[in-house]
Amino acid sequence: MAQTLKDLQHILLSLIIFYPVGLPLPTFATHLQHLHTSQYQFSKADIPTHKSESTPRENQANPLKQAIMSSAMSEKSTSQSKRNSPKRSLASSSATSDAKRRKSEHIKKFTEMKLEDIEQIFQNSRNALDRAEELYQDAEKARAHQTLSSAMIRKANATKDTARLEMIKDAREAIEKRDNLQIQVEKQKKELFTVETKLLT
């Protein structure tokens, strides 16, 4: 037993001699901390290499996805450039001017027509409105939804046309009355001039 203790003392002395001076004695906790630090440094060093290797693989594995995304981006930029192009604004302004020109020509056509012709057109419009009203009433009684919808559209259009033609007819009547009054004024002027001429001679 004494020999065993002597051997253990000899071993401990040899360890103390070879351990560096000024450093604390190693424990089990410091050993685990050193092991965890070395593993963290190793895993952190491996992360960029893994990312750099996986990115080209993903790009090589999905060429179709890249093509679709690039095509979609190019189509989006093309559509935006078309919407913002000056040709679109010029086309819309041209269409507006054409509509105004057609409207003015349409009004001029009616103002130059005779009152009898305008009254005939107005009467035809009234007849169309009456037919549309009859169709609407029949469809409403039969509860035919599709026919009722069509009849409502026809009735609305006929009502709009009739109202427009009624305004044109009223305006044309006013113009004709003015023209008749102007003719009467000119006639009276001529008669008055004739009377004055006779009195002076």
Q: Answer yes or no: is 160 within a domain.
A: yes
Judge whether 14 lies within some domain: no
Residue 133 carries which side chain, given as an amino acid letter? E
Amino acid at 113: M
Per-residue pLDDT tens for 29-49? 454 455 445 554 444 444 444
Q: Is 27 inside a domain boundary?
A: no
Give domain status of residue 67, yes or no.
Answer: no
Tell the residue number behind the tokens 């410091």, with chain if given. 30
Mean pLDDT rounded to a whole number for the chain: 66
Distance CA 15, CA 18 (A): 5
User: pTM for the full model?
Assistant: 0.31
In a domain, 74, yes or no: no
- Evaluate if residue 54 carries a pLDDT over 60: no
Q: DSSP class of residue 37?
A: H
Residues 119 and 171: beta-carbon distance below 8 Å: no
**Integer Cα distance of 34 and 24 in angstroms:** 14
Domain annotation covers residue 179: yes
Q: Count how many domains the chain has.
A: 1
Domain membership flag for residue 15 = no
The domain containing residue 143 runs over which residues? 110-200
Quick one: average pLDDT of 148-169? Answer: 78
Residue 121 lies in a domain: yes
Q: Is the pLDDT of residue 24 over 70?
A: no
Here the contacts of 194-198 (C-beta below 8 Å, separation 24 or greater) are none
**Residue ranges of the alpha helices (H) in the chain?**
2-18, 28-61, 63-83, 86-112, 115-142, 145-200
Lowest mean pLDDT among 58-62, 74-78, 187-191: 58-62
